[in-house]
Amino acid sequence: MSAVPLESPRSKGARQKLLEAALALVREQGYAATSVDELCQRAGVTKGAFFHHFRSKDALAVAAAEYWASATGAFFEAAPYHRHAEPLERVLGYIDFRKAILRGELPEFTCLVGTMVQEAYATHPDIRAACEAAICGHAATLESDIEAAMRRGGVRGDWTAQSLALHTQAVVQGAFVLAKATGTAEVACASLDHLRRYVELVFGRARPITTPGD
């Protein structure tokens, strides 16, 4: 993940370190399990520095979700799938890219905001809103390619580009949950394969492989 400069050089140190500590610790152990003390220890900053930059752990969580949206936004914007000439290839390329980055340890490839919102959605409205903005904002980056692919392929149906874009995020988030449950990325890779097959089928790019009369 490319780091995104959000602060002036002077104040960047402690704030940036705390944001990165939040990204790491929440993905490792969840939001409620992560204390301010642990965040300071992981970031290598004092508690005074923490409360200089954030009025509370919740405020850091909201900033971390915004930082996550910004950093992942830059990361996906620079990804190779945008280079395909055909819009449907860009959509399929996005799914392939999501599969390709399922590498390393689980806390490295799973999602900060999907993890936080799972536990904090009802008790922390500000965190929920920041997670919604991150997830739905990322989904929205896929909409214009899906729309263009629908137009080009003459695809109609009782679904919209927005709903398919959000569905890709549901599959990605659910794939992370199953990866965490099974302790391996394999099940997540297989779900992304199913998602790719769905997009190919619904756009008429592929047909089901059947032997009628079997």
Token pair 């492989």 in the structure block, residue:
209
Q: Is 66 in the site for a copy of itself (CB under 8 A)?
A: no
How many residues can be counted in the chain?
214
By CB atoms closer than 10 A (0-12, 13-18, 19+), residue 56 is exposed
Letter for the amino acid at 89? Answer: E
Q: Is 101 in the site for a copy of itself (CB under 8 A)?
A: no
Q: Binding residues for a copy of itself, how many (CB under 8 A)?
A: 70
- Rounded CA-CA distance 166/126 in Å is 21
Any idea what the Cα angle at residue 17 is, between residues 125 and 78, rounded to 5°? 80
Count of alpha carbons within 13 Å of 126, Cβ hemisphere only?
Answer: 10
Q: Is 178 in the site for a copy of itself (CB under 8 A)?
A: yes
Q: Is 173 in the site for a copy of itself (CB under 8 A)?
A: yes
Q: DSSP for 116-153?
A: HHHHHTTT-HHHHHHHHHHHHHHHHHHHHHHHHHHHHH
Q: Is 140 in the site for a copy of itself (CB under 8 A)?
A: no
Among 39, 45, 88, 166, binds a copy of itself (CB under 8 A): 166
Q: Is 25 in the site for a copy of itself (CB under 8 A)?
A: no
Query: Given the complex with a copy of itself, which of 13 and 28 has the nearer CB atom?
Result: 28
Among 11, 41, 56, 163, binds a copy of itself (CB under 8 A): 163
Q: Is 196 in the site for a copy of itself (CB under 8 A)?
A: no
Among 4, 24, 79, 106, binds a copy of itself (CB under 8 A): 106
Residues forming the site for a copy of itself (CB under 8 A):
28-33, 106-107, 113-115, 117-123, 128, 131-132, 135-136, 151-159, 163-164, 166-167, 169-178, 180-183, 187-188, 190-191, 193-194, 197-198, 201-204, 207-214
